[in-house]
Amino acid sequence: MLRRQFLALASAGAGTLLGCRPPATAGPQPRRKPTGKAGPDVLVVGAGAFGGWTAWSLRQRGAQTTLLDAYGPGNARSSSGGDTRLLREDYGDRVLYTRMAKSAHELWRRYQRQWKARLMTETGRLLMVTDAGRSILSERKERLERFDIATEVLDQSELRRRWPQIHVDDLAGGLYNPNSALLHAKDACREVATQFESAGGTFRIGSARPGNGSGRRLVDVELNDGSRLSVGTVVFACGPWLKTLFPDLLGDRLKVIRRDVFFMGTPPGDPRFSHPNLPTWGITGPSADAEGKAFYGFPDVLGRGMKACPTNESNQFDPDLDDRRVTAFRARRAYEYLYRRFPGLRGQPLVDTRVCQVTGNTDDHFLVDRHPSFDNVWLVGGGSGHGFKHGPALGDYVARRVLDNAGDPEYDAAFAL
């Protein structure tokens, strides 16, 4: 069904897709009867990294689960869209995310083998530092080794020897994690939704907002076509749209921030900037462009160019209506930075760009909690730019909370409203 719906959307033409409402054909559809013993009835709103994996985990635990998304899994407006995302376990002293990322990494590997699908590519990850950041290298190595995560501390000369294509004269060294990876984001979202359907879940295109309540329960949700759907339990995991649906509760807590993405062309016949000759990379410390904006990036793995993204952007963004074209100013800033950090790219063009968004939480933690007014409504979001990698582990955690209230004390406290 998922593949047919995408073909139908594609044939509808660009005019339909540019509207903020899905096509009229996305009205109520019969719910597929799950295989096996019937369990609780759960609606998951949002088919991104958090919602898709939550729906999959709920279905694996026997829940009759419907997954709803306004534009489809991996779509260009979602925070989980785009070609690639980073999978790392290095979170400094925020070790609860190191623990979750390690669990997620193991699940990404398992499902890649089980589904025979390309979900990830292990590239290694290089975090480079200036003199001011030199002290963090040994601290981070020690923390990661407590979790049995392979880690090397490299000095400047070793950086230059291994990756001569990187300009490192202003850098002191780096931390290298050889098993870190990049995730094939939009493909993974679509694969999770496909597997969810194959396991007896129901996927549909459409948007929903809270409907009528009765006491401490939400009775139904209102769909984009004006119809209403009765609900048992609802999980709203709709990324940047979460604060729009619950403005009084989350309007001051979540911020949707613009994130520009650039793909720099590589010289013809030159493999230095492509996997496996370059890991994913990032820099911490005052080694940035003229405005103090640091970058991180990925090697070319899909023939699309070497990916680079500036960090610390602050412009707020409307995921439905704002234009997704980068400005000439931001493009020039990317050129200046990449030509300096990777001199072999000088003279190469930007071959592609895109704009997505990060839903930042005020404390940079994820949000997983029950709605304070409705016992059968759960809020899941606040990915804060680092959520995608955690998808399979977070989805399992959310499913346990929703079905059994069997959480994890550390996560429960960090993710609370």
| One-character DSSP codes across 60-118 | HTT-EEEEEESS-TT-TTSTT-SSEEEE----TT-HHHHHHHHHHHHHHHHHHHHHT--
How would residue 6 be classed by pLDDT, with cut points 50, 70 and 90?
Answer: very low
Under DSSP, is residue 167 helix (H, G, I), strand (E, B) or coil? coil
Q: Where, residue-wise, is CATH 3.30.9.10 in the chain?
A: 122-183+255-361
The answer on pLDDT for 365 being more than 80 is yes
How would residue 215 be classed by pLDDT, with cut points 50, 70 and 90?
Answer: very high
- Give the rounded percent of residues in the chain with a pLDDT score beyond 70: 88
The answer on pLDDT for 12 being more than 70 is no
More reliable by pLDDT, 183 or 4: 183
Assign a CATH topology to domain 122-183+255-361. Answer: D-Amino Acid Oxidase; Chain A, domain 2 (3.30.9)
- Spatial CA neighbour of 296 closest among 101, 109, 138, 88: 88
Predicted local distance difference test score (pLDDT) of residue 39:
65
- Spatial CA neighbour of 153 closest among 169, 173, 171: 173
N-terminal to C-terminal alpha carbon distance within the chain: 36
**What average pLDDT does the structure give for the chain?**
89
Q: Where, residue-wise, is CATH 3.50.50.60 in the chain?
A: 2-80+186-253+364-414
Predicted local distance difference test score (pLDDT) of residue 313:
75
| Rounded CA separation 203/127 (Å) | 39
Task: Report residue 97 as tokens.
Answer: 């995310």
pLDDT digits (tens, 9 = 90+) for 273-283: 999 999 999 98
How would residue 7 be classed by pLDDT, with cut points 50, 70 and 90?
Answer: very low
Distances (CA, A) of 120 to 83, 100, 108, 261: 11, 17, 7, 19
Lowest mean pLDDT among 11-15, 113-117, 123-127, 251-255: 11-15
Assign a CATH topology to domain 2-80+186-253+364-414. Answer: FAD/NAD(P)-binding domain (3.50.50)
Global pTM value: 0.89
| Rounded CA separation 160/191 (Å) | 39
Find the helix or strand (DSSP H, E) in which 289 lies: none
Mean pLDDT along residues 339-349: 96
Backbone φ and ψ of 377, nearest 5°: -120, 130
The answer on pLDDT for 347 being more than 50 is yes
- Give the rounded percent of residues in the chain with a pLDDT score beyond 90: 81
Mean pLDDT along residues 72-94: 95
Amino acid at 345: L
Mean pLDDT along residues 315-343: 92
pLDDT digits (tens, 9 = 90+) for 14-60: 322 222 223 233 333 333 344 444 568 999 999 999 999 999 999 99
